[in-house]
Chain A
């Protein structure tokens, strides 16, 4: 009894505890909001870095489109042949009874359309080179029903043949004539077949030629595009590097001058270059699922940049030396939707050294001087609560 009770109690309590935990773990999930917002933010692509990313993504999309084209063409090029060759055999058989029975007539009509469809294909191809990949698709669809129809038709034809044979036996007189006609028809059929085969072969050859030409053209285009892309990318890289260098010079001011007479050792502009590299690494729009976390990350980075650019421009860093290198100030800001501070900034790491007080006050002045912040109201949820880490170390 007791044991059972204990077990049940424990299990219940454990379940309860688990539930409590689950509820707690569910709480952060309410912040799944960022995802829709992130997707919204991709489309504008207003910020240069995003735009750069999307550009490369488009180019990458263009490449996969080109490469599948030849594959589809190759795969589907042989397909039409069996389709085209298959119909003719049924076609010859019906014609014999065709003359006697009205039923077989429809099959007669059927084969020509089947032979015809391949013809329009090449006709369609030349005008629309780029659509070459598209026509094969519709062509690929019909064969399935065609085969089924053929089977049915074959069966029907066999029955009709039997009937015809019976009738032939009965009508021996007419038979010879019929046989002669048959032979003639067969000859005609053969001729037709040969012609169709030749036509098909020609068509095939032409198609192959065209496809080869297309492939060549596509490859050439690809190469050209790739070369252009490379050039563009290199140019962009150079531009970006140049910009990064310019930016670096403009933004990153060293608090300490080194007035060397001879060697003006250029400082390595590593951080920004690295940033640019990482930002331009992959296609931003290339995520298979389309739900890219990078987007929200970059969006947050944009928000951070808006705040950063203002605060840094207003932050008067005074003093320097050893103490500056060891003093960081962490402020927590809470905003109203109008971009103004909702309350006094909260100092997260209060200290009492003179240097800390000085850095803290200069940070507070910078934060207040930036009011009101021009942050996107739609993303208020993201910037209503922000932590700023003031760290002057890099300047000294």
Chain B
């Protein structure tokens, strides 16, 4: 019997409907009305069967695979490798060969540092690409196991600026994945490479890039007891370091504005730490607010219009928010404890901060108006410097536990705590604008001074960011535009 074995649903229903009218037939011969009723019933039953059959036929013809028997075998791929993608980045084409080669090097270095790409050695390349607009011989690139290929050309634009064009190819399928023409100022030639790197990164990972960014940090020189701390800025890859202060005053905790080319930081004037604001383009520096006591731990709001910080009052400190335009300030917490390190969530609706109100330093979250304060960290040790991810899904923090300082992340509700890096002294995490990479500073035991490092959210890819001297307190800029 085929019926019991047949999987489709409609068939049994139709079959079930059929016998009933058949059994009704003998009765129908007696009463005419009943017969008409039965006939109508029959017609409707018939219609049902036909519709069901049609639906079934359609289902067969459609894409949806039958559940069992005739359907294709389904295989779940739930694990992949975390190996970097082999990518071929030949020298750019262009009149100035040195410049074109340098660009390719910067691009390759960017992608390599992300930990997600493995730029292939150019000596292994079989095909010499001369023309950006010709289709590469993919077999040549497959032969060296490249999965992606970036072909680019760079040169001077008509306006004197720099112009670069690139195409990103998928070597295995031979499809072009991305292609664009980019421009940059003559002095910013490295940006061309960073911009291409962002495009490649975004297309292949689905995440926003973070290569065309800068990092402000504290440059530390001199002996340990008379350390000269200066505000400095550089590209995210460590190039183009520029000093922003002369080192006469002690500066700490610089923070980048998410929207403008401004930095807020802490500077000691005399014995009193005060929060300042620095415009990177004009170099203008100004005091934020006019509070009687010390102000510290500043941070911008996501819209760049407000600064949130701590003000000291005797042995305690509270969190205040100041509007940069109206200069109006608003107190958000008030207690006898030390509330500090405030940071907005990317939607500006919540604030995470640290407080010792329960005895030791822990992390708390409150609404933007100061209501609904509640503790989110419950692990052993002391939590500090919370930073909300630009994606909003995580909060990074420094944690002091068991004689070591570690950098960790947790969800805004306090769950899913995970340690990314751990050691003698790690501190001050800052998010790259894509919320996937963190920078922090580390001082090894007996290292003499701190260094900058970056680590991605997986915890696998930890890299030192090369700086000319000791450096600390990094703050990542938003993507430049």
Chain A residues engaging chain B, CB cutoff 8 angstroms: 3, 6-7, 10-11, 13-14, 17-18, 20-22, 24-29, 31-32, 251-253, 255-262, 300, 303-304, 307-308, 311-323, 327, 332, 344, 348, 353-359, 361-366, 368-369, 382-383, 385-395
Contacts and interface: CB of A to CB of B under 8 A. Distances in A.
B82 A25 contact: no
Q: What is the interface of chain A mostly: helix, strand, loop, or mixed?
A: helix
A24 B74 contact: no
Given A261-B419, A358-B205, A316 B84 contact: yes
A225 B21 CA distance: 63
A318 B2 contact: no
A316 B46 CA distance: 54
Given A25-B11, A357-B206, A311 B77 contact: yes
A10 B39 contact: yes
A18 B15 contact: yes
Given A259-B422, A259-B459, A368-B173, A251 B206 contact: no
Interface of B: 2-3, 5-8, 10-11, 14-15, 18, 21-22, 25, 28, 32, 35-36, 39, 42-43, 45-46, 49-50, 52-53, 56-57, 60, 63, 65-66, 69-70, 72-85, 116, 147, 170, 172-173, 177, 202-207, 391, 393-394, 401-402, 404, 406, 418-422, 435-436, 457-460
19 contacts: A10-B21, A14-B42, A17-B46, A24-B60, A25-B3, A25-B11, A31-B69, A256-B457, A259-B406, A261-B404, A307-B75, A308-B76, A312-B77, A316-B84, A320-B458, A321-B436, A354-B206, A356-B206, A394-B78
Given A256-B418, A389-B75, A17 B14 contact: yes
A389 B76 contact: yes
B404 A312 contact: no
B436 A28 contact: no
B83 A316 contact: yes
Given A3-B32, A24-B8, A387-B74, A14 B15 contact: no
B75 A261 contact: no
A392 B406 CA distance: 27
Nearest to A390: B77
A392 B204 contact: no
B457 A355 contact: no
Nearest to A25: B6
Given A17-B53, A18-B15, A21-B53, A317 B80 contact: yes
A393 B28 contact: no
A11 to B, nearest CB: 7
B206 A353 contact: yes
B204 A361 contact: yes
A69 B70 CA distance: 46
A153 to B, nearest CB: 54
Contacts of A353: 206
Contact of B422 (A17, A260, A300): A260
Contact of B85 (A6, A18, A257, A318): A318
Contacts of B22: 11, 14
Contacts of A323: 206-207
A14 B18 contact: yes
A365 B172 contact: yes
- For A24, A257, A382, which residue has the most chain B Cβ atoms within 10 angstroms? A257
Contacts of B83: 316
Contact of B202 (A251, A313, A354): A354
- For B10, B57, B147, which residue has the most chain A Cβ atoms within 10 angstroms? B147
Nearest to B72: A385
A358 B203 contact: yes
Given A10-B43, A318-B116, A321-B457, A358 B204 contact: yes
B391 A321 contact: yes
Given A257-B459, A258-B419, A316 B80 contact: yes
Contacts of A253: 79, 81-82
B5 to A, nearest CB: 6
Contact of A395 (B21, B57, B66, B80): B80
B81 A389 contact: no
Contact of B77 (A3, A252, A308): A308
- For B49, B74, B79, which residue has the most chain A Cβ atoms within 10 angstroms? B79
A26 B49 contact: no
A391 B63 contact: no
A368 B142 CA distance: 11
Contact of B39 (A6, A365, A391): A6
